[in-house]
Amino acid sequence: MIDISEYKLGETTEIIHLDSSDDNRVTAIALVQQGIRSIDIFTRHLDKPIYDNSEFISAIKKMALGHSRALVRILVQDSNKAAREGHRLVNLGQEITSKIKFHTPSREHTTHIEAFMIVDSTGLLHRRQLDRYNGTANFNDPKQVRELQAKFDRAWEHSEPDPHLRRLSI
């Protein structure tokens, strides 16, 4: 497993090569633990090995509740499995509805074959293929973050709140 203990969000510019779900999980946790105001995730099905663990959930919750303007936006192409199986990120989003938003991208944006997470418009975790864990991460890559942020923002503008991940009141 990779060691990223010395990496700092907004400072470290080294590209990190990720080869496994463990590498992705550890990097995602480190990025979110250093985040302050925003997390944007584009995913096919909320990648359980990366986003459904207690450390990641704890980091998201701390960031979301620790800053008045913090916002987590998640575009999920297929949320059925996560909704059916009880994903911890879904549960947290249903508790903190004002800070964590789940949307489904429009049909034109479901053809993206990549998955990524952007933290504070600075750091990113990026997999060029949704179903593989090979990818890269960088704690400070303004150029690539701008490109992926523009892609995410376009998809978000044309998305709808995900009906499978809404909090149901009884």
Domain residues of the chain, as ranges?
A: 16-165
Q: What element of type H or E holds 72?
A: strand 71-76
Given this model, what pLDDT does residue 122 score? Answer: 97
Residue closest to 32 by CA, chosen among 132, 107, 124, 111: 124
Q: How far apart are CA 164 and CA 87, in angstroms?
A: 12
The pTM score is 0.93
Given this model, what pLDDT does residue 101 score? Answer: 96
Given this model, what pLDDT does residue 97 score? Answer: 92
Q: What is the pLDDT of residues 5-37, one digit of tens each?
A: 999 999 999 999 999 999 999 999 999 999 999
Q: How far apart are CA 65 and CA 146, in angstroms?
A: 26
Starting at the earlier edge strand, list the strands of the sheet with 100-104: 16-18, 135-138, 123-127, 115-119, 38-43, 71-76, 100-104, 160-161
For residue 168, pLDDT over 50 is answered with no
Query: First CA to last CA across the chain, in angstroms?
Result: 44
> Tokens for 15?
């590209």
Q: What is the pLDDT of residues 118-161, one digit of tens each?
A: 999 999 999 998 778 999 999 999 999 999 999 999 999 999 99
Q: CA dist 115 to 28, 30, 167, Å?
A: 12, 18, 25
> Quick one: fold of 16-165?
Endonuclease; Chain A (3.30.870)
Given this model, what pLDDT does residue 30 score? Answer: 98
- Mean confidence (pLDDT) of the chain: 91
Given this model, what pLDDT does residue 167 score? Answer: 55
Given this model, what pLDDT does residue 169 score? Answer: 43
